[in-house]
Chain A
Amino acid sequence: MESVRTQAEAANRKMQPWMRSAGQTLMWGVMLAMAFAIGPVVEQWINPYWFTIVILCGINIILAVSLNLVNGFTGQFSIGHAGFMAVGAYTAALVTMGLGDNVSWVSFVAASGFPPEAVFPIGLALGGVAAAAAGYLVGMPSLRLRGDYLAIVTLGFGEIIRVVFMNMEAVGGASGLNNIPFFTNFGWVYSVVVLTVFCVWRMVHSAHGRNLLAVREDEIAGEAMGVNTTQAKVRAFAMGAFFAGIAGGLYAHYLRILTPQTFDFNKSFEIVIMVVLGGMGSISGSVLAAMLLTVMREALRVIQTWYDVDLRMIIYSLVLIVLMLTRPNGLFGTREILDILPSSWRRKLAGGGTKQ
């Protein structure tokens, strides 16, 4: 046992930085490929009800991890994530539906030999970009201010987005968009999950990420050390919004219907509680909490039929209050899942080159 450990450590010492980063890139690439590879298997294997839960788990993971970048790592309390999700969802849906039949470029794609699914990544990307632009627009004025104002502004922004979509005839108004093509499958969702976790992970461990942490820990001290705090915050905000937009696109092409009511304050709140429960500043915590709450929601559906009330929200809010009173760090705090594994496992994993 002792010799194994020393061997691993020796291997670790010998490993050059480029080898480590190449190994990591390879690992993420393999995970990405696996998402597509096991997709059809999963679809065959489990029943449609559970498959929906698996898909929603993935979408919620994207939302929670991207919000964690803003709420957890940057320490800005945003409660309007559903607004960005809505922007992405509507944009992506409009793109894949051929901009409301005005442009028949969907049929053009079909005619030129590509599968119709080829418009999907374009739609997702444009949805993400639109959401990021919205995040930039909201972030610029509000992020110069203190955290509590941001909370209200993001909440208000979410409401504005909802009201605007409700009044836009081009996207169906209050009755929403129908007949969105069905493109979302396991492969798409989980490849975006891997991509989101990868990007947020790399962002947090980069120089930009250290700026974000500086903003979280002490904004004034960070500024004194030469960190452009506003820029750091806006960057985190736009990036978080980008992934929320993509999650919205995935959501739209799974349910095939979009109504403005879907993206109300409760949806934003659901994402916030995932982040808080998992631990603000813990990516793996967000992933676990997103999965936990998505499954819990289905379990609570049974109780909900007894009363006519959304008990889920009562339980969520109680969880939030009790968490803040007793364990404000959530499940993991700022630690990752690797940090709380037994140290012998950790060392083995570190030898394999997965640990930072």
Chain B
Amino acid sequence: MDQFLQHIINALSLGSIYALIALGYTMVFGVLQLINFAHGEIYMLGAFAGMYTIRWLRLEQHPGIGSLLIALFAAMAASALAGFIIERLAYRPLRKSPRINLLITAVGVSLFLQYTGQLVFGSDPQFFPVGILELDGYTWTYGELVIEPMQIVALVLSIILMLVLQYIIFKTRLGRAMRAVSFNHDLASLMGIPTNRIISATFMLGSALAGAAGVLVGLIYPKIEPLMGTMPGLKAFVAAVLGGVGNVTGAVLGAFTLGLAEEFLVGYWVSTYRDALAFAILILILLFKPSGLLGVHRAEKV
């Protein structure tokens, strides 16, 4: 039973990371019908931005939740900027071209960031300064159950961010514009919505969440490297598809489902097939319910 609860807790903290990344995927897909392959790399940039902020501002000497928030906001800002630049330089010029060209560009941007990251940050893993929160004495044990405080911090912070996002999407003017653009791009622009600006804003918002995920994952698994974004990026995409791509609640649901599935596979069966599981789920969901758990099936129109 303890072991079971342990897996649930691990899955929740893993799932919250996936959820933050998956939200960016699903939002971008909503407004642009594009799978932003570079999203995992934005998450990587977020982790590095957080690390360098902590190093340069010497935040480790003042551990506490305030320092963590500074690093988190710096990483979110850096990621948002990266998302903005990528959209502006690589995706916007292709708005009128076939979707396959956009997809190829996205793959290109993703690989470019990975390998340029190796050039800039070095290809060896670096240690994320987890000392930013002094939580050594706070590990909570109950029988065999071990709850790391970092996991709770990551879970709480990501839930707060998700709630903020939910507020932005459903209660603000920007959110309404975003929903309009994702509903019908052309109609939205006829209604006087500046679609290009809204798309930029969506990219920045999604990228900021990915950046936050980068910092949080740095706290839980403190080794970061330029290729770290590929796998979580793809898995988060699977989570987005699982929940119904374009659906914000679905992305979160899919992410937690995927987190649980992975954790139980590793805990009770084989650990070596961990990376294959997400894709197996993807193929199954595409086979049986292509619109995802919460997605609405939309007929393809001519």
Contacts and interface: CB of A to CB of B under 8 A. Distances in A.
Contacts of A221: 302
Given A159-B279, A320-B107, 13 more contacts: A75-B100, A144-B290, A151-B35, A152-B234, A163-B276, A269-B107, A311-B115, A317-B111, A317-B112, A320-B105, A321-B108, A324-B104, A324-B108
9 contacts: A138-B283, A144-B290, A151-B103, A157-B283, A167-B272, A220-B300, A308-B123, A317-B109, A317-B111
Contacts of A339: none
Contact of A160 (B109, B270, B279, B300): B279
A318 B119 CA distance: 14
Nearest to B280: A160
Contacts of A325: 90, 93-94, 105
Contacts of B112: 314, 317-318, 321
Interface in B94-120: 94, 97-105, 107-112, 114-116, 118-119
A321 B90 contact: yes
Given A269-B107, A317-B111, A317-B112, A77 B283 contact: no
B272 A166 contact: yes
B47 interface: no
A244 B280 CA distance: 22
**Of B105, B111, B112, B300, which is in contact with the most chain A CB atoms at under 10 Å from its CB?**
B111
B9 interface: no
A217 to B, nearest CB: 11
Interface in B45-100: 90, 93-94, 97-100
Contacts of A37: none
Contact of B99 (A79, A145, A147): A147
Size category of the B interface is 35 or more
Interface of A: 75, 77, 79, 138, 141-142, 144-149, 151-153, 155-157, 159-160, 163-164, 166-167, 220-221, 265, 269, 272, 276, 307-311, 313-314, 316-318, 320-321, 324-325, 328
Nearest to B282: A156
Given A152-B237, A317-B111, A145 B276 contact: no
Contacts of B237: 152
A328 B272 contact: no
Interface in B260-278: 270, 272-273, 275-276, 278
Given A157-B279, A167-B272, A310-B118, A320 B104 contact: yes
Contacts of B35: 148, 151-152
Contacts of A144: 290
B241 interface: yes
B286 interface: yes
Contact of A77 (B93, B104, B282, B302): B104
B12 to A, nearest CB: 24
Nearest to B118: A309
Nearest to B123: A309
Contacts of A317: 108-112, 115
A307 B110 CA distance: 21
B164 interface: no
A272 B241 CA distance: 24
B182 to A, nearest CB: 16
B278 A156 contact: yes
Contacts of A324: 94, 97, 101-102, 104-105, 108
Contacts of B97: 324, 328
B275 A142 contact: no
A77 B103 contact: yes
Interface of B: 33-35, 90, 93-94, 97-105, 107-112, 114-116, 118-119, 123, 230, 234, 237-238, 241, 270, 272-273, 275-276, 278-280, 282-283, 286-287, 290, 300, 302
Nearest to A325: B93
A338 B229 CA distance: 44
Contacts of B33: 148
A316 B90 contact: no
A155 B108 contact: no
Contact of A309 (B104, B115, B272, B290): B115
B115 A314 contact: yes
Nearest to A154: B279
Nearest to B231: A159
Contacts of A309: 115, 118-119, 123
Given A320-B104, A320-B108, A141 B286 contact: yes
A199 B259 CA distance: 45
B101 A145 contact: no
Contact of B105 (A156, A164, A167, A321): A321
Nearest to B102: A324
A152 B109 contact: no
Given A160-B279, A325-B90, A147 B272 contact: no
A149 B115 contact: no
A184 B183 CA distance: 55
Residue in A163, A307, A311 whose Cβ sees the most chain B Cβ within 10 Å: A163
A159 B275 contact: yes
Contacts of A163: 272-273, 275-276
B276 A160 contact: yes
Contacts of B300: 146, 220
Contacts of B94: 324-325
Q: Which of A148, A308, A328 has the most CB of B within 10 A?
A: A148
Nearest to B90: A321
Contacts of A142: 283, 286
Contacts of B98: 328
A152 B106 CA distance: 12
